[in-house]
Amino acid sequence: MISLTGLQKIYNGESGTVIALDHVSLNIKQGEIYGIIGKSGAGKSTLIRCINLLERPTAGQVFIAGQEMTALSEVQLRDARKSIGMIFQHFNLLSSRTVLDNVAFPLEIAGVGRTERVKKVLPLLELVGLSDKKDVYPAQLSGGQKQRVGIARALASQPKVLLCDEATSALDPQTTESILALLKDINRKLGLTIVLITHEMHVIKAICDQVAVIEAGRLVETGRVLDVFTRPQSDTAREFIKAVVNNKLPEALAEIVSDKPVAGSNLVVRLSFFGAATNEPVIAGLIRRFAVDVNIISGNIDHLQATPYGTLVIELSGQQEDIQSALRYLQARDLGTEVIGYVTRHAYAAG
Ligand SMILES: Nc1ncnc2c1ncn2[C@@H]1O[C@H](COP(=O)(O)OP(=O)(O)OP(=O)(O)O)[C@@H](O)[C@H]1O
């Protein structure tokens, strides 16, 4: 549905040349929710603004539904942009217009008559849960309600693509959750392709199918959210994931872990589960098969949309050969097994 090839954006400002996008290529399929995550200044806004040509790329091409956007004149673009809706961090509503008239605004610009506008807008207000607010002004709305108006307005011209520019960054966590749920709902009901940019991993985790990680204008990692979460390839992705997945060792334990076993030391292992592996009774299997004791040190199992994933840090005690057999058993299972090291129990207890 969206294809970017070799996108480059160079700003020549007074303070010098900035390469905001450096040969960015990616493909977004019809009906996908595609997240682009990066730190401040990474090039997210530039990238999303290049998709609808609010920003003209210095080089490269943008295709939407087979049409090369970068080849269009300004007049042609105005028409082509009707198939691209956009919502913003600060909503960008017109304060002197009611909710209904804000949502109807793109239709008014397109020359649609009042009666027809109202007919089109009322179902949109219902879709975003604001039917009872149609006659109020933006100042009387909460942040979440304002963003719902922004979403309804973006949908007014029946776009094929919805671009979301940090759409939940100005909202509290609960409101963020409800707006993300609404976007997911719209994606399902209308089959709308959604591209969102964010600096928050929990947004990606909540609704995206695919993610691209951007750093200094370059894509450093792209893939299915589940894959990037469970096997991140770049330091930037790992850093973002840390914010939402707590798999740190307890400090007292981290301080005394050594890489080599000594007499009487226990093995500490971090197990990562994803998908079906979470349903396998791995710990029970371990205890039944080997002469080892298992002590659970820390753990969390969460869901990435419908897929369970998580980590468990366990300590295995027993004879070294039994511990090593148990480790081989774990390594043969469909889960991530990371040897953290060895601890002696009395040292841990003292810590
Ligand atoms: N109009 C401009 N003129 C010159 N440089 C610009 C312009 N717009 C953006 N830049 C620079 O391009 C780089 C990418 O900026 P961009 O706004 O796309 O990043 P971002 O990831 O969206 O950051 P943030 O999360 O802080 O909004 C930055 O170094 C920025 O200073």
Tens digit of pLDDT for each residue in 86-145? 999 999 999 999 999 999 999 999 899 999 999 999 999 999 999 999 999 999 999 999
Q: How far apart are CA 166 and CA 203, in angstroms?
A: 10
Tens digit of pLDDT for each residue in 225-239? 988 887 788 888 888
285, burial (CB in 10 Å: exposed 0-12, middle 13-18, buried 19+)? middle
- Could you write out the DSSP letters of every residue in 190-245? H--EEEEEES-HHHHHHH-SEEEEEETTEEEEEEEHHHHHHS--SHHHHHHHHTT-
Q: What's the whole-model pTM score?
A: 0.81
At residue 346, does pLDDT exceed 70? no
96, burial (CB in 10 Å: exposed 0-12, middle 13-18, buried 19+)? exposed
At residue 214, does pLDDT exceed 80? yes
Say what the pLDDT of residue 349 is.
Answer: 55
Q: Is the shortest distance between the CB of 44 and ligand 1 below 6 Å?
A: yes
Q: Is the shortest distance between the CB of 18 and ligand 1 below 6 Å?
A: yes
At residue 283, does pLDDT exceed 90? no
127-157 as b/e: b if 16+ CB within 10 A? bbebeebbeebbeebebbbbbbbbbbbbbbb
Q: How far is the CA of 166 from the centre of ligand 1 (A)?
A: 14
Say what the pLDDT of residue 261 is.
Answer: 80
275 φψ region: left (φ > 0), alpha (ψ -120 to 50), beta (else): left
Dig out the tokens for 128 from the structure: 């975003």
Residue range 169-190: mean pLDDT, rounded: 94
Least reliable range by pLDDT among 3-12, 247-256, 281-290 = 247-256
Say what the pLDDT of residue 79 is.
Answer: 87
Q: In the structure, what pLDDT confidence band is assigned to residue 278 with cuts at 50, 70 and 90?
A: low
At residue 306, does pLDDT exceed 80? no
Q: Is the shortest distance between the CB of 88 and ligand 1 below 6 Å?
A: no
Which residues are within 8 A (CB) of 276 and not within 5 positions of it... i.e. 6 or more apart? 334
Which residues are within 8 A (CB) of 13 and not within 5 positions of it... i.e. 6 or more apart? none
Say what the pLDDT of residue 344 is.
Answer: 83
If you take atom 11 of ligand 1, which residue's CA is the nearest one?
Answer: 20
Domains of the chain: 2-244 (3.40.50.300), 251-344 (3.30.70.260)
335 φψ region: left (φ > 0), alpha (ψ -120 to 50), beta (else): beta
Q: Percent of the chain, pLDDT > 70?
A: 95
If you take atom 24 of ligand 1, which residue's CA is the nearest one?
Answer: 40
Q: How far apart are CA 162 and CA 130, in angstroms?
A: 19
At residue 348, does pLDDT exceed 60? no
* Parallel/antiparallel/unpaired status of strands 210-215 and 33-38: parallel
Say what the pLDDT of residue 166 is.
Answer: 94
Say what the pLDDT of residue 13 is.
Answer: 83
Tens digit of pLDDT for each residue in 51-89? 999 999 999 999 999 999 999 998 999 888 889 999 999
Say what the pLDDT of residue 247 is.
Answer: 64
Atom of ligand 1 nearest to the CA of 42: 21
List the beta strands (DSSP E) in the chain: 2-13, 16-28, 33-38, 59-64, 67-68, 84-88, 161-165, 193-198, 210-215, 218-224, 265-274, 292-304, 307-318, 336-344
Q: Average pLDDT of the chain?
A: 90
Q: How far is the CA of 268 from the centre of ligand 1 (A)?
A: 44
DSSP 250: P
Residue range 144-159: mean pLDDT, rounded: 95
Residue range 250-278: mean pLDDT, rounded: 80
Residue range 209-213: mean pLDDT, rounded: 96
Say what the pLDDT of residue 310 is.
Answer: 78
Q: What are the CB-based long-range contacts (under 8 Å, 24+) for 49-52?
A: 49/165, 50/4, 50/7, 50/9, 50/21, 51/2, 51/4, 51/84, 51/161, 51/163, 51/195, 52/81, 52/84, 52/86, 52/163
Which has more pLDDT, 348 or 265?
265
Q: In the structure, what pLDDT confidence band is assigned to residue 351 with cuts at 50, 70 and 90?
A: very low
Whether the ipTM is more than 0.90: the answer is yes
Q: In the structure, what pLDDT confidence band is assigned to residue 347 with cuts at 50, 70 and 90?
A: low
Dig out the tokens for 168 from the structure: 């939940």
Dig out the tokens for 193 from the structure: 């392709």
Q: How far is the CA of 45 from the centre of ligand 1 (A)?
A: 7
Sign of the Cα torsion 241, 246, 251, 252 reads negative
Residue range 184-206: mean pLDDT, rounded: 94
Say what the pLDDT of residue 219 is.
Answer: 96
